Amino acid sequence: MSTVAHTVWQQDDVDPAGVEEAMRALERERFRQRSALPARALNLVTVVDADDADEVVRRLAATGGNAPSRSILLRVHPDRSRLSARVTLAADGDAGDRTSAMNELVTVDVGLRHLSRLESIVDPMVLTDVPTLLWAPHDHRGAIESLVPLAQTVLLDSSDAALATTGLDEALALQAAHAVGVVDLSWMRTLPWRQRLAAAFSPPSRRDELARIGDVEVRHQPGSAAAAWLVLGWLAARLRWTAVGDEVRDAAGHEVHLRLVSSDVGVAGLAGTTVTSRTGAHFALDRNPGGLRARYAPPEGAAGSGGDAADRERSWTILGASRGETGVLSAALRRTLVPDDGYREALATARRLIQCT
């Protein structure tokens, strides 16, 4: 079913109360006309440079059924002194069909001078009975600080920072200072990798190898080191590894060697990972056309295995493992409604690992 979008209200030199009243009038008119029902699941407040706003709108539109119920897009202009606003409705199929759900896009043009008081501007526009997600992809720190009292969750990308430590520290600081949830796009990009790593050790015959892991290498796109550290943090937290001085040790006290390798594959996130046990077994994943290429070799001396690693190793392709940036954003929007406690633990553990390596 196609999505039909049309602008239903627009005004220059408007105040927040005027936008709120216009939206209430539209609500009454929709009810009177028995048109498509407005969706009520999630507010998304996005602060974006005006020149890049169209790209953000396209990314959100591509999420399809995962699109927020009400998106409030704040387009920042350097010298603007007055507000202007536009309300656009989008419904799947016929907007007059009451079985269709209608999403709302509220676009507000603001100036740099408004960023410190965005809370008072946006507050009348958010749906009060659903969660609110805050996203500032162009690093408007003042806007985040102003708006975070309205939000339950902040969407960020820890890989946007110049250094992985900076990006991870910013996520930790947000959680500590404002008691909000954090959905990290770098973390969401690692989801297929974490799922496949967990599945690789799910068979009973391989579970003992988890306690014998001695070396982990994570390969990542340049600029995506934060994602690599989050995977290591997840592994360490799940397997109860600890940072001791400048070493990482497993639950039994054996040293575990961690290694990050930059590898340009043209896609944000991970390029590959290899987990090797002290028995010589290893499991590797690498980006491959159509999915991920998996390689596994059983422990040295295992029944039916060859002598060297090449003879013991077998490989296969895991289809459909990569979801692209649209899939990552869709998953992030869903994650807002179902908090991911694993991220908080992986984030804190990753930061400790960085300090000792």
CA atoms within 13 A on the CB side of 61: 16
Q: For position 345, what pLDDT does the model report?
A: 96
What averages of pLDDT result for each successive group of 10 residues across the chain (357 residues)? 68 92 83 72 94 91 84 95 90 60 89 94 93 90 91 95 95 91 95 94 93 98 98 98 93 97 95 96 92 92 58 85 81 85 94 90
Q: For position 1, what pLDDT does the model report?
A: 47
Q: For position 322, what pLDDT does the model report?
A: 66
Residues 218 and 175 sit within 8 Å (Cβ to Cβ) = no
Residues 295 and 314 sit within 8 Å (Cβ to Cβ) = yes
DSSP code for 203: S
Q: For position 206, what pLDDT does the model report?
A: 92
Q: For position 340, what pLDDT does the model report?
A: 77
| CB neighbours of residue 176 within 10 Å | 8
Q: For position 273, what pLDDT does the model report?
A: 98
- Helix H segments across the chain? 16-33, 53-61, 118-122, 141-147, 164-178, 185-189, 191-200, 204-207, 225-239, 309-312, 324-337, 341-356
Q: For position 305, what pLDDT does the model report?
A: 53
Task: Report the predicted TM-score, pTM, of the whole model to 2 decimal places.
Answer: 0.89
Cβ-based burial of 12 (10 A; exposed 0-12, middle 13-18, buried ≥19): exposed
Q: For position 106, what pLDDT does the model report?
A: 95
Q: For position 74, what pLDDT does the model report?
A: 97
Rounded to whole angstroms, how far apart are CA atoms 49 and 151? 20
| Sequence letter at residue 177 | A
